[in-house]
Amino acid sequence: MWTEMNEMIQTILNHRSIRSFEDKPLTEEQISVIVQSAQAAATSSFVQAYSIIGIKDPSKKEKLAELAGNQAYVSKNGHFFVFCLDLHRLELAGRMEGLSGEDAKETLTSTEMFMVGVIDATLAAQNAVMAAESMGLGVCYIGGIRNHLELVSELLKTPSRVVPLFGLCVGYPADHSDKKPRLPQMNIYHEDEYNQDTDQFIDQLEQYNAEISTYYASRTNGKRNDRWTEGMARFLKNPKRLYIKDYLEKIELPLK
């Protein structure tokens, strides 16, 4: 046992995605604590370039579940949050100080600014996850809302320069899911420089493939036994959401 283990690290290491929730809504206090925790995360240059939309309206939740690829748990949970990159507020802050749209445009449309917004929103989201899990709640991130950003944006009435990045289901867990083994630590963690020894890298991935194959087989009574690299090849062969660059241009984020 590590000497550095504590309750928080145990909660972190115990993370798994929950895809079935009890029919019990979060309280206003739980929602507020989760949002406050999100806001406590670091933010680049203090810009706080994100917004969070909490969805209670059952018809909106159902519509989102459908848009995300018919994932029932998007509508059936304790609460559904949508984390958005938000440069609309930043633009407004500039206008309050007399900046014209033209003055602000170069910053707002830069790839750097886009990265800052994605990073800010994601730091906030992961804090929300930790807060929720520490309360005994389960969570599941929903990237599927990026399947149809135009429709999601219409539904949530997001203005220009606001991008719904992902959803987050939160609620009381109604299923038990297993922890998926992660890549070998030495494949993720490099010391002083990136390890470009491809042979060693491949060896590590082969070991990981065996581990993942066993993991799937034991969960499905042998029906499924795919390797990690096999799943990744499938992922690569099926390009997804290729409309996003054009969509970003339409909402005045041309990524210059």
Restricting to residues 110-139, name those near a second copy by CB under 8 A.
110-112, 115-116, 118-119, 122-123, 125-127, 129-131, 134-135, 139
Q: Which of 1, 176, 198, 221 binds a second copy (CB under 8 A)?
A: 198
Interaction of residue 20 with a second copy, rule CB under 8 A: no
SS3 227: coil
d(CA 65, CA 59): 10
Looking at the DSSP bridge assignments, the partners of residue 163 are 85
| Dihedral (Cα; 194, 197, 198, 200), 10-degree rounding | -110
Interaction of residue 157 with a second copy, rule CB under 8 A: yes
Please name the amino acid found at residue 32.
S
Interaction of residue 220 with a second copy, rule CB under 8 A: no
55 within 8 A of 84, measured Cβ to Cβ: no
Computed from CA positions of residues 235, 236, 242, 248, in that sequence, does the dihedral angle turn out positive or negative? positive
Report DSSP state, residue 20. Answer: -
Residues from 82 through 101 that contact a second copy (CB under 8 A):
84, 89-94, 96-99
Interaction of residue 217 with a second copy, rule CB under 8 A: no
The bridge status of strand 162-171 relative to strand 138-142 is antiparallel
Please name the amino acid found at residue 136.
G
Residue 222 CB, nearest distance to a second copy (Å)? 20
Interaction of residue 33 with a second copy, rule CB under 8 A: yes
Residue 23 CB, nearest distance to a second copy (Å)? 19
Q: Which of 22, 24, 69, 106 binds a second copy (CB under 8 A)?
A: 106
Interaction of residue 70 with a second copy, rule CB under 8 A: no
- What does each C-alpha distance from 183 to 123, 144, 194, 204 come to in angstroms? 22, 24, 16, 9
Interaction of residue 215 with a second copy, rule CB under 8 A: no
Q: Which stretch binds a second copy (CB under 8 A): 28-36, 65-73, 169-177, 214-222?
A: 28-36
- Closer residue to a second copy (CB): 42 or 72: 42
d(CA 163, CA 83): 8
- Token pair, residue 177, equals 């899911």
CA nearest 181: which of 208, 141, 142? Answer: 208
Residues from 163 through 192 that contact a second copy (CB under 8 A):
165-166, 180, 182-183, 185, 187-192
- Closer residue to a second copy (CB): 22 or 106: 106
Q: Which stretch binds a second copy (CB under 8 A): 34-42, 70-78, 170-178, 215-223?
A: 34-42
Residue 174 CB, nearest distance to a second copy (Å)? 19
Residue with tokens 């389960």: 138
**Phi and psi dihedrals of 31, rounded to 5?**
-60, -45
* Total residues in contact with a second copy, by rule CB under 8 A: 121
Q: Which of 24, 219, 224, 245 binds a second copy (CB under 8 A)?
A: 245
68 within 8 A of 144, measured Cβ to Cβ: yes
Residue 11 CB, nearest distance to a second copy (Å)? 6
